[in-house]
């Protein structure tokens, strides 16, 4: 099942993305993330996994479908911060991929492909402008998105096949959120 996690920096979206990696059972998966997050990814995961870390600050030109396919994996985890360029052809594949994007990256191109995702997790942006943007982007869930609290960054809604669930992120006690934990 394809999953998209939507949330800005500081929300629970990236923590949830890492938590899914922490809970991953497969040994044949790829993580695509910014080089600055390498220690956080490696912190939790004793599994051997393939990784494609990029340097976001040094003329990064994007990850292509071809780059991802070279790894021949069962699942791909992609953390796509602002200005991340990606070829969305990989969405047509049958793999169980996970994509994490910020609210600002909900471009028209990405919105056209949202129907390819089986699971959508939207994390509370904790500000009215972003809440309104999300509510308008996901008009079927308008009221639920606007009902987010003003300060709970661990609050999210999960959408699966049209069903919606409002939740608070709960993590395994063995999961380390940061390098200092």
Residue 129 or residue 180, greater confidence: 129
Mean pLDDT of 57-75: 74
Mean pLDDT of 71-77: 86
> Does pLDDT of 96 surpass 60?
yes
Give φ, ψ of 119 to 5 degrees: -125, 135
pLDDT of residue 165: 93
> Does pLDDT of 133 surpass 90?
yes
Indicate the pairing of strand 75-80 with strand 98-101.
parallel
Ordered domains of the chain (ranges, CATH): 3-168 (3.40.50.300)
Q: How confident is the model at residue 30 (pLDDT cuts 50, 70, 90)?
A: confident
Residue 125 class from Cβ within 10 Å (0-12 exposed, 13-18 middle, 19+ buried)? buried
Q: How confident is the model at residue 149 (pLDDT cuts 50, 70, 90)?
A: very high
Residue 89 or residue 109, greater confidence: 109
DSSP state of 180: T
pLDDT of residue 112: 81
| Spatial distance between the Cα atoms of 24 and 145, rounded to a whole number of angstroms | 28
What digits encode the pLDDT tens for the residues 50-63?
Answer: 877 777 666 566 67
| Spatial distance between the Cα atoms of 93 and 169, rounded to a whole number of angstroms | 29
């Amino acid at each position: 099942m394809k999953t998209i996690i939507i949330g800005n920096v500081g929300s629970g979206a990236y923590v949830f993305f890492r938590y899914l990696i922490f809970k991953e059972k497969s040994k044949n998966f790829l993580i695509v993330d910014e080089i600055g997050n390498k220690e956080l990814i490696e912190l939790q995961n004793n599994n051997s996994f393939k990784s494609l870390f990029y340097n976001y600050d040094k003329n990064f030109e994007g990850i292509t479908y071809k780059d991802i396919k070279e790894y021949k994996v069962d699942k791909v985890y992609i953390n796509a911060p602002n200005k991340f360029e990606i070829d969305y052809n990989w969405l047509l594949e049958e793999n169980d991929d996970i994509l994490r994007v910020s609210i600002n990256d909900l471009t028209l191109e990405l919105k056209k492909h949202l129907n390819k995702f089986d699971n959508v997790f939207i994390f509370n942006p904790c500000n009215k402008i972003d809440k309104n943007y999300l509510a308008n982007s996901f008009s079927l869930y308008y009221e639920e998105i606007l009902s987010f609290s003003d300060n709970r960054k661990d609050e999210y809604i999960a959408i699966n096949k049209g069903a919606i669930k409002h939740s608070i992120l709960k993590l395994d006690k063995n999961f380390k959120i940061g390098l200092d934990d």
